[in-house]
């Protein structure tokens, strides 16, 4: 069994030596610091299982030690040693989170008993935290996986589950509305940081000046309107995950500051001079081609490689049509619950229209369309007329039917064959290109042209 560690802080060398010998003989791993300043330095190096500190010391007091220890780890039990004349201060400290106080002079038995109780509390809280994390992981391993059953999406989930327990930075790429934040949250919930916060920020939603303040914080008076110090999100997300959405919208100046945070693991508030330690797992997302942005001079190469440690490509909904019925069922049940009603059904014509539409807005557009249809339908069956017009009109005409064109052009035949191969490979463009015997970039260009030629 690991020995519980104790940091003893007192400005009197004799008391330090006495406590060191006493607690070491009772099975504790003891380190000592003479004075409050030395104690703070040792706390920066790592928080022990227990902190035992005198209240009155020159320079840095025991109350400041209490505050510093709890800021680094709120679960750390802090025991205060105090004289009778300082009882009121000690009681106040207990109200602020101290584990216990003991008055000087104290008996050795009392001191050992208090330290053992503190060590037991620390052990129980640590075990309880680990148990909760394990229970949450078990719960999420089944029902709480993000929606989707297509082979493409299941590949994404497997990669997310594989990288979640690591500390690696993740870059999620995909079109708007594909569910990039859902995957980011899933990674957080399966990570060792699941008990910490999950904070997100859309980098394209704020002007550059406000974005820097949100990310790194600012000090009072650093700019007009900065009437007080503000904590940045990197500091607020301590111990958790920080999700930076639409990272491609970030200005070059802010990119430089973000790069420093990732390299040095510290952030300097706007207008400040002192760096603040950063302890977060960073997950980013973008709907832009960052390599193309680099070529255009709009994104830093060094930042790209810092972010792109683990890349996850989230395919659009049109490439995974098998997922559409899954989303329809889940969204219909959720919408019905929110409206306090029974879940409605889609008429066959309405369902057909939904399944053949290419969903440029992806999952978000599908959810909005279904909610609109539910609101506009009075009965239990949602008709085709309740579906938005652009979806009704975008009825896909199959390129290959039982009655093909009498004289199909080469372009029609090529489209038909490419479409058939792509469907046969479950929408996987890389495998389809291999079957077709063409370069993937050629396939992407052809598919892009087919989409641009389609009627709107």
11 DSSP assignment? S
Percent of the chain surpassing pLDDT 70: 90
Write the pLDDT tens digit of every residue in 28-64.
Answer: 999 999 999 999 999 988 889 999 999 889 889 888 9
Mean pLDDT confidence for 161-186? 94
Q: Which CATH superfamily is domain 410-453 in?
A: Homeodomain-like (1.10.10.60)
Mean pLDDT confidence for 270-292? 91
Show the tokens assigned to 199. Answer: 């904070």
Question: Which residues are within 8 A (CB) of 353 and not within 5 positions of it... i.e. 6 or more apart?
Answer: 384, 387, 391, 392, 394, 395
Mean pLDDT confidence for 99-119? 89
Give pLDDT, residue 442. Answer: 81
DSSP 183-228: HHHHHHHTSTTTTS-EEEEETTSS-HHHHHHHHHEE-TTSSTT--S
Is the model's pLDDT at 10 over the cut of 60?
A: yes
Residue 182, burial from CB neighbour count under 10 angstroms (0-12, 13-18, 19+): middle
- Look-up of token digits 């079957």: 435
Question: Do 5-128 and 151-315 show the same overall fold?
Answer: yes
Residue 41, burial from CB neighbour count under 10 angstroms (0-12, 13-18, 19+): exposed
Residue 184, burial from CB neighbour count under 10 angstroms (0-12, 13-18, 19+): buried
Show the tokens assigned to 36. Answer: 């409050």
Is the model's pLDDT at 344 over the cut of 80?
A: yes
* CA gap 304, 316 in Å, rounded: 22
Write the pLDDT tens digit of every residue in 291-321.
Answer: 999 999 999 999 999 999 999 999 999 999 9
Report the predicted TM-score, pTM, of the whole model to 2 decimal places. Answer: 0.59
Write the pLDDT tens digit of every residue in 62-99.
Answer: 889 998 898 888 888 999 998 766 777 777 777 778 88
* CA gap 280, 160 in Å, rounded: 18
Write the pLDDT tens digit of every residue in 390-448.
Answer: 898 754 445 455 444 445 667 777 888 888 888 877 788 888 888 888 877 788 778 87
Give pLDDT, residue 144. Answer: 63
Question: Which residues are within 8 A (CB) of 204 and not within 5 positions of it... i.e. 6 or more apart?
Answer: 245, 246, 249
Boundaries of every domain in the chain: 5-128, 151-315, 318-393, 410-453
CATH topology of domain 151-315: Rossmann fold (3.40.50)
Mean pLDDT confidence for 192-217? 88
- CATH top class, domain 5-128: alpha beta
Label the pairing between strands 78-82 and 50-54.
Answer: parallel
Question: Which CATH architecture fits 318-393?
Answer: Orthogonal Bundle (1.10)
Give pLDDT, residue 46. Answer: 84
Is the model's pLDDT at 205 over the cut of 70?
A: yes
pLDDT band at 195 (very low <50, low <70, confident <90, very high): confident
Averaged pLDDT of the chain = 86
């Amino acid at each position: 069994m690991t020995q519980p560690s104790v940091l003893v802080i007192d400005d009197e060398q004799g008391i330090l030596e006495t406590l060191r010998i006493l607690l070491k003989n009772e099975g504790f791993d003891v380190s000592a610091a003479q004075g409050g300043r030395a104690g703070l330095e040792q706390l920066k190096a790592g928080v022990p299982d227990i902190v035992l500190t005198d209240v009155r010391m020159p320079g840095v007091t025991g109350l400041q030690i209490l505050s510093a220890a709890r800021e680094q780890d709120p679960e750390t039990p802090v025991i205060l040693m105090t004289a009778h004349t300082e009882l009121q201060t000690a009681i106040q400290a207990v109200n602020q989170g101290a584990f216990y106080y003991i008055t000087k002079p104290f008996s050795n038995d009392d001191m050992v008993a208090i330290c053992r109780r503190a060590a037991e509390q620390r052990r129980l809280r640590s075990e309880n935290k680990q148990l909760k994390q394990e229970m949450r992981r078990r719960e999420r391993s089944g029902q709480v996986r993000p929606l989707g059953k297509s082979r493409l999406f299941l590949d994404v989930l497997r990669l997310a589950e594989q990288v979640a327990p690591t500390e690696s930075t993740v870059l999620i790429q995909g079109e708007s509305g594909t569910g990039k934040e859902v995957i980011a949250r899933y990674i957080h919930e399966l990570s060792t940081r699941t008990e910490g916060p999950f904070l997100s920020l859309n980098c394209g939603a704020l002007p550059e000046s406000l974005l820097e303040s949100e990310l790194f914080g600012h000090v009072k008076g650093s700019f007009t309107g900065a009437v007080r110090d503000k904590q940045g999100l990197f500091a607020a997300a301590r111990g958790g995950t920080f999700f930076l959405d639409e990272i491609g919208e970030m200005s070059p100046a802010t990119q430089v500051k973000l790069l420093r945070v990732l390299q040095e693991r510290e952030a300097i508030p706007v207008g400040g001079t002192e760096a603040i330690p950063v302890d977060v797992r960073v997950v980013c997302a973008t709907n832009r081609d960052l390599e193309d942005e680099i070529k255009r001079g709009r994104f830093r190469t060094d930042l790209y490689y810092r972010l792109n440690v683990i890349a996850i490509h989230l395919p659009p909904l049109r490439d995974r049509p098998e997922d559409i019925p899954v989303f329809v069922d889940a969204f219909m049940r959720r919408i019905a619950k929110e409206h306090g009603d029974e879940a409605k059904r889609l008429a066959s014509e309405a369902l057909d229209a939904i399944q053949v539409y290419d969903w440029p807005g992806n999952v978000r557009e599908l959810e909005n369309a279904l909610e609109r249809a539910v609101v506009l339908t009075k009965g239990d069956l949602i008709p085709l007329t309740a579906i938005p017009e652009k979806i009704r009109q975008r009825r896909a005409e199959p390129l290959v039917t039982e009655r093909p064109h009498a004289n199909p052009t080469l372009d029609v035949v090529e489209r038909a064959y490419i479409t058939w191969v792509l469907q046969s490979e479950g929408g996987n463009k890389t495998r389809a290109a291999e079957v077709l015997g063409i370069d993937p970039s050629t396939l992407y260009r052809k598919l892009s042209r087919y989409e641009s030629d389609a009627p709107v």
